[in-house]
Structure formats: C-alpha cells, structure tokens
Amino acid sequence: MQIKDSTYCPDLLNYQRWETREVTIGDVPIGGNNPIRIQSMTTTDTMDTDGTVAQCISMVESGCDYIRITAPSLKEAENLRVIKAILREKGYNVPLIADIHYTPNAAELAAKIVEKVRVNPGNYVDKKKFNIIEYSDEQYQDELERIRVRFTPLVEICKEYGTAMRIGTNHGSLSDRIMSRYGDSPLGMVESAMEFLRICEDLNYHNIVLSMKASNPQVMVQAYRLLVNNMMKEGMNYPLHLGVTEAGDGEDGRIKSAVGIGTLLEDGLGDTIRVSLTEDPEFEAPVAKLLADRYIDRSELNKVEGSQNVQINPFEYHKRLSSTVQNIGTGEVPRIICDFSEIDNIGAANLYPLGYQYSVPTDKWTITDTAVDYVYIGDKELSFEIPGTLGVVQDYNTWMSNGSKKQHYPIINFNKLGETNDFSSQLNFVRAEALELNAETLSQIAQIDNAVLVIATTHGHGMAQQRNVMSLMLELNITIPVIIHRGYKEISFDAFQLYAPTDFGALILDGQSDGIFISSDLPLKKVVATAFGVLQATRTRISKTEYISCPSCGRTLFELQETTAKIRKRTDHLKGLKIGIMGCIVNGPGEMADADYGYVGSGVGKITLYKGQTVVKKSIPSDQAVDELIELIKDGGDWVEL
C-alpha cells in the first residue's frame, strides 16, 4: 500500500479493517483479527468497593469487554486490587483499566494490579495552565527530556507486569507546550500522543492503544485520521480506541457519538469503542455494540469501483464549492428533505412533526427552529396553503399536471431524463442511483439549468458509493449542489438513530453534501429530530443549544444526570449556545474548550462557573449554581426570554 500525504485508511471505497498489531489486555486481546471490543467506565467512587464491583458486573452483563475505573490517587489505585479480587472470586475475569490523569505514582501502582492503564499526555507530566509560552527549540527538547524521565518508570513497570497502556489524548487537555507550538488543533493532538509513543518505542514497549478524543466530532475524526496517517508513515499500526468525549445524554449523545465513531468505522478504523453518555454506564455498551455489529460482514459486500485518489483534505474541513440554486448550495446551511410520499390525504396537521404548526383560529403558521426545508410528496397533491418557507417536491409528471404551483418543484429520475420536455425555471431535483453516475452522466445532468443532484444508494456500504460520486464531481469540476438520499425501512429506531448519523455524517464532515433526504417508516418527528441532530453534531447547521456534558465517573463531584437535566430544562431555548457541564476539573475547563459557558465541579458541593475558559465565579454552593449560571449567561448578553 502506497502511503501518501492524505492516506488514512486501507481503502476509501471498499470496507477493510485496518490491520493493527494485536495488544494483550488480560484474556481479551485487541487489534489484529479480533472483533471490535466494547468498553465503558464506572461512575461510582472507586473507594466504594461494593458499589464499584456491582456496577462492574452490571456493565459486563450489558456487553462490556473492558471496564475502566478512575484512580486519581494512590488509595484508589490500591483499592483496584480489592475490586479485582472480588470480581475474580465472583467469576468475572473482565480486564480492568485504571484511568489516570495527574498522578504518575498512582499509574505506576495501578500498572502492577490491573490489565491496562490509561494516561493522558496533556495531564500526566506535562503542564496545563492555559498559558501561552514561547519555547525555543532547546527549551522544547528540554521539556521532552523531562517527560521522558518521568514517564519511563511507568513504561518499565508495564513491560515487567505485561500491562497494556492507552495513550489517550483529549482535545481539551493539550498541554501549554503543545498548544504554544501546534495550537488547539488535530495536529497538536497527534503530536502530543506521538511524543509519548516514541518514548515507548525507544524503550521497546509496544503493548499500546491510542485515542484522539474530542467533544466536537469534526475535530475528533480529523485527529484520528491524521494519527493513522502519521503511524503509517512511521511504520506503526497500534490499535485505536474510538470515542467522542463529553457527548452528552439521550438523543444528542447518541447522534454525536455515531457521527464521530461511525465515520471512522466506515473507513475500517477502530479496535475498541466507548460511547460516552451522561447516563448510567450500562446504557453505553448496547449503543457501542449496535454501532460495531454493523461492520461484522461489511467486507463481503459487492465492490465499489472507483478511484482511491483523495480529492479533499481529510484532515481539515472545507465545504465543497457549488453553485447556489434557491437556498441549496455554497453559502447556505445543509437543507433537509422529508419523505411524505407514503402518506395519504396530507393535511396541515401532518406538517406538525416537520416543525410547522398551524393555528386554525388565527389561520397562521408557527415555524420552529427545526422546520424542514422541503417535503417530498411523490405523486400526491396538497389541498391547503403551505407556509412560505417550505418547498414541495413532486414527481415530475404530477408537477407538470399541477400548473407549476408556487413553491412546488419537480424531482426527475435520471433514467427518465430522455422523456422530460420541460423543467422548472427555479429548481429541478434530479435523482440518480450512485451506480448510474459517471463522467458522462454527471456532465449531462450539469447541463440542466437550476439542477440539484440527489444521489441515492441502496448499497450496504452506501457512504463509500456516494463518496465516489462526489470525488468524481470534484475531479470534473462539476459544481451543481448535491443532496444525499438514504432510505431506512424496517429497522428499529435505536438502529436508525445510529445508522443515519453514520451514513450522512461521514460525508457532511468532509463538506461533501448540501443537504440530506431521509426516507423512513419510523415516526416523522423522530426522523426530523435525527436529521437536525446530525447537522448540529457536524456543526454545519445549528438549531438548538448544545450541551458538552461528560459521562459520570468516580471523580464526579455532583449528581451529573440530574444537574444536566436541570440546566437543559432552563436553557434549551438558547439556540446556538454551547454549555459545558463537567463533573470535575479533569474534564473541565479543558474538555469544554469551545463551550461558551461552563459549569464545573471544583469540590464536594461546590461549583466553578466559566465564560469560555475564564473562571468567573468560584466555590458556588451546588444548590445555587444553576441560578448563578443563568445570571452569568444574562450578564454575558446571551440570554433570550422565552
């Protein structure tokens, strides 16, 4: 395989797991030909032995292959010995992972007890004071040597005891040294890990797993890709631990996780998954397993023929330049088309799940922030006046027969173009299966005035098939706007909520779509919420408040789920605002690096509030902190009354 500057996976078009080296973690190896492993992290106080053991058992029974437990100091690290012994007595041989941030001595002790330790390069022996310091090359090397001296004892212990290690970089906890040289970037994340990895290699230690976590899926995906590219160039192939950190809870947490993790899985990257939800840990494993199981037989699908030449920079976001037709294309947010073609007798009330609420007494429409842009009605007609912001898409023959009603536009199947005599002077959707599209047919469609191409696929690896078309369009400099169409029939909502973000997210994160078109037999309100959730997670269309909320763990200093619910209840109308809710200082303020406001546990029953990364108020009693947060948002000029 030729490694180019843009290479980051074995095959861009046909699913192939990147073959990483096998790493031993107890009796459950990772990488190589092993299945994608599932893991989660306990939320109990590590000193609560019985509670931690009980939760570990619950997590194993929910599907976890590994369990991570925080060890912030020596006493917690020592108690891992007790927890492990009890689990073994009860017949649970699940490998345990000690989670370490600021305490090398705890890591060194834990490495003698459990099967794996996780260290964060930005916190372990480096400095994170949010200071910008100019380092000379000599000073920079001096710091690297200091890190080597402090890190080497842990590596030697891991070698002696056969303990694995995860070098886990987090976007929000890059050290001041890394930030000063590389900035708050995927490149900085990769360099932070590679520094530690090179020390391990120099010491002939290779039992290593790597991660590049961020709460922003776009940053997370770019960092993992860049990491793999760097490893390929240096002849390395260490296993990858995938996760979107601080993903949040409920619908948002699942969608955001699927956008990040799923995008990488689509390209064959990833050896273990942790879905970080602000929920009890036993809810995480089933979500991760549902994501992973989709790829069990993926490599057996029919091949997608096309070029492996990357037409984009996979390590940076740049939206594809396209012409603009109506409100679709460059300069516009991605548009959403909802499928109404199987609904009979469509009335005004049917538009409610689409974000349009009609009042009979006032004869007026209320349009929400999550109102879809177009509705596809097939060969049907509407018998009521539609809101002014909604476009109606009809099959071509029906559109021709209705006198070209206002806000109505045709959709023409590519294989029927030869029978088409007239087009809309405003907007024409041309739908084609990805297999129908090549240089000749794309050029033909590009000749149609005001055309928007709808690329559909039923291939099991449809993202790659659609990516192939987009790559060809870039190569040919065809700039018509593109809508990605996918259908989801006869699957559960749990699966849909993960599959759709994966399929659409991968292309949107690469700037390769001007909109999404979903056909599904699931409740429309849920389909629409998922569509807007995907655009929110990719940061391409903001329609609601975003919560960067960490999963609870033994370090958490307040009831995270309850507090998140309280904050969400009072702030979920603040469209576009990003609020970080962090259980402890380890996960904040760093992990909420791009949040507008932060709510961080700083002591038992005490909260510190941030505006950006600046501390505004310290040691606020937790029963007053939500009110204080609201006042801070008001003082900052970001509050909107309901």
At 235, list the tokens. Answer: 């002849």
Query: Where residue 277 sits, what CATH number does that domain have?
Result: 3.20.20.20
Query: Where residue 395 sits, what CATH number does that domain have?
Result: 3.20.20
Structural domain ending residue among the three candidates 517, 537, 557: 537
**pLDDT, tens only, 287-344:** 999 999 999 999 888 899 998 888 899 999 999 999 999 999 999 999 999 999 999 8
Which helix (DSSP H) or strand (DSSP E) does residue 349 occupy?
A: none
pLDDT at 440: 95
CA distance 467 to 502: 13
Neighbours of 560 (CB within 10 A): 23
DSSP letter at 545? -
Whose tokens are 């509670």? That residue is: 51
pLDDT at 557: 56
Q: How confident is the model at residue 580 (pLDDT cuts 50, 70, 90)?
A: confident
User: What is the C-alpha radius of gyration for the chain, rounded to an integer number of angstroms?
Assistant: 26
Whose tokens are 């029919």? That residue is: 302
**pLDDT, tens only, 185-217:** 999 999 999 999 999 999 999 999 999 998 899
Average pLDDT over residues 431-447: 96
Structural domain includes residue 511:
yes
Q: What residue numbers bound the domain in which 341 lies?
A: 335-537
- Rounded to 5°, angle at Cα 588 from 584 and 589: 145
**Judgement on whether residues 449 and 584 belong to the same structural domain of the protein:** no
**Judgement on whether residues 437 and 347 belong to the same structural domain of the protein:** yes
Structural domain includes residue 114:
yes
Structural domain includes residue 164:
yes
**pLDDT, tens only, 41-73:** 999 999 999 999 999 999 999 999 999 999 999
Cβ 578 vs Cβ 610: under 8 Å: no
Structural domain includes residue 23:
no
CA distance 505 to 513: 10
**Judgement on whether residues 207 and 126 belong to the same structural domain of the protein:** yes
Structural domain includes residue 350:
yes
> CA torsion, points 171, 175, 179, 185, in degrees to nearest 10?
-20
Query: Where residue 589 sits, what CATH number does that domain have?
Result: 3.30.413.10
**pLDDT, tens only, 440-470:** 999 999 999 999 999 999 999 999 999 999 9
**Judgement on whether residues 528 and 612 belong to the same structural domain of the protein:** no
Cβ 186 vs Cβ 222: under 8 Å: yes
**Judgement on whether residues 243 and 265 belong to the same structural domain of the protein:** yes
**Judgement on whether residues 530 and 554 belong to the same structural domain of the protein:** no
| H-only helix segments in 572-603 | none
**pLDDT, tens only, 16-33:** 999 999 999 999 999 999
Strands (E), 26-77: 37-41, 66-70
Res. 552: pLDDT tops 60 = no
Structural domain includes residue 284:
yes
Identify whether 589 is preceded by a cis peptide bond (ω within 30 of 0).
yes
| H-only helix segments in 163-320 | 176-182, 186-202, 217-233, 250-257, 263-266, 284-293
**pLDDT, tens only, 101-132:** 778 999 999 999 999 999 988 777 766 555 65
Structural domain includes residue 1:
no
What is the tally of structural domains in the chain?
A: 3
| H-only helix segments in 438-580 | 439-446, 462-476, 493-509, 524-537, 560-571
**Judgement on whether residues 481 and 589 belong to the same structural domain of the protein:** no
Structural domain ending residue among the three candidates 253, 277, 300: 300
DSSP per position, 96-122: EEEEESS-HHHHHHHTTTSSEEEE-HH
**Judgement on whether residues 499 and 554 belong to the same structural domain of the protein:** no
pLDDT at 567: 85
**Judgement on whether residues 352 and 410 belong to the same structural domain of the protein:** yes
The b/e string for 239-275 (b: 16+ C-beta within 10 A; e otherwise) is: bbbbbbbbbbbeebbbbbbbbbbbbbbbbbbbbbbbb
**Judgement on whether residues 499 and 368 belong to the same structural domain of the protein:** yes
Q: Which of 189, 200, 170, 55 is nearest to 101 (CA)?
A: 170
Average pLDDT over residues 410-427: 91
**Judgement on whether residues 387 and 286 belong to the same structural domain of the protein:** no
CA distance 249 to 127: 31
**pLDDT, tens only, 233-245:** 999 999 999 999 8
**Judgement on whether residues 251 and 357 belong to the same structural domain of the protein:** no
pLDDT at 556: 60
Average pLDDT over residues 253-272: 96
Which helix (DSSP H) or strand (DSSP E) does residue 433 occupy?
A: strand 428-433
pLDDT at 296: 94
**pLDDT, tens only, 214-227:** 889 999 999 999 99
Structural domain ending residue among the three candidates 506, 537, 568: 537
Mean of the per-residue pLDDT values for the chain? Answer: 90
3-state secondary structure of 240: strand
Neighbours of 15 (CB within 10 A): 22
Strands (E), 21-120: 37-41, 66-70, 96-100, 116-119
Q: How confident is the model at residue 181 (pLDDT cuts 50, 70, 90)?
A: confident
Structural domain includes residue 410:
yes
Average pLDDT over residues 166-175: 87
Strands (E), 275-373: 335-339, 356-359, 364-367
